[in-house]
Amino acid sequence: MEVFEMKKVDLNYILEKVKNGEKLSRTALYDYPMANIAEKAGIEIINVGDTMAKYVLGYDNTNKVGMDILVEHAKAVRKGAPNAFVMGDMPFLSYRNIDVAIENAGRFIVEADVDAVKLEGGLEIIPIIKALTDAGIAVIGHTGFSLQSRQIGLGKTDEEKAKDFLKICREMEKAGVIAIVYTEVPIEVAKQNYEEATVPIFAAGCGEYTNSPMMNFYELLGFTEKRRKFAKAYDNLLEKSIEATKRFVEEVKRGEIK
């Protein structure tokens, strides 16, 4: 088996790839074994996301995980993928004001050695992004459909929503983000933002208008029974894992395991 020998992926690496028109591979995962697999396969960017609540802990929303859980999992991911660019999701209520945001983002940087933190929201989080970047913390902005708050202050009509979305992206850039994340924004809006952006765009489900497409690691490996409409399973490890475990159970029942 050939293992990919990855060089350290830092912001300069990302910017060079973007400048050269090369796409960057990106996934979301939450533990050491998965991170180890991802790095050996050549995944460049890993998001330790609050989606862990759904994919690992079985909750129906992402607000069930806090800083302690995410920091511990980010530590494990960093150990498994020492050369990947790792970003940590700031969970619900962890950046409710500037002081709290700096303290919690600092935990990600110092304790888990992540390369950047990711904040979800709209114009209301611009002052927090600015404070974090002023403190020397690399920030990735996440806007569009927000998993945490379910709303980000977009207008009611499609035209208003597009205008507000583009404004949020530009304000995030002014505040110092190193990249912007969003998912399933209408193609025409994604195209306009991609062409106007001054930072890398980490969009998923937006066609070609992204520097770094993303797929959750559990979805791409086929560990989930359901997938988002833009996700692709490259194998069916759920079925294979069940079958392997069934063989173990059968051998136990036959007395073959000593």
Closest CA to 45 of 114, 94, 119: 114
Closest CA to 137 of 106, 171, 97: 106
Per DSSP (E only), the strands in the chain are 26-28, 45-48, 85-89, 116-120, 139-142, 179-183, 201-204, 214-216
**Binding site for 3-methyl-2-oxobutanoate: what residues are annotated?**
50-51, 89, 118
Q: Which ranges of 116-236 would DSSP assign to H, the alpha helix?
A: 126-134, 158-175, 187-196, 217-220
Q: How far apart are CA 74 and CA 49, in angstroms?
A: 9
Token pair listed for 67 = 């800083």
**Binding site: what residues are annotated?**
50-51, 89, 118, 120
Q: Decide if 62 contacts 54 (C-beta within 8 A).
A: yes
Report the chain's terminal Cα–Cα distance, integer Å.
Answer: 31
Q: How far apart are CA 130 and CA 116, in angstroms?
A: 14
| Helices 187-196 and 158-175, packing angle to 10 deg | 30
Residues whose CB is less than 8 angstroms from the CB of residue 253 and which lie 6 or more positions away in sequence, other chains included: none
Token pair listed for 117 = 């933190």
**Binding site for Mg(2+): what residues are annotated?**
50, 89, 120
In the chain, what is the greatest distance between 2 CA atoms, to the nearest angstrom?
Answer: 67
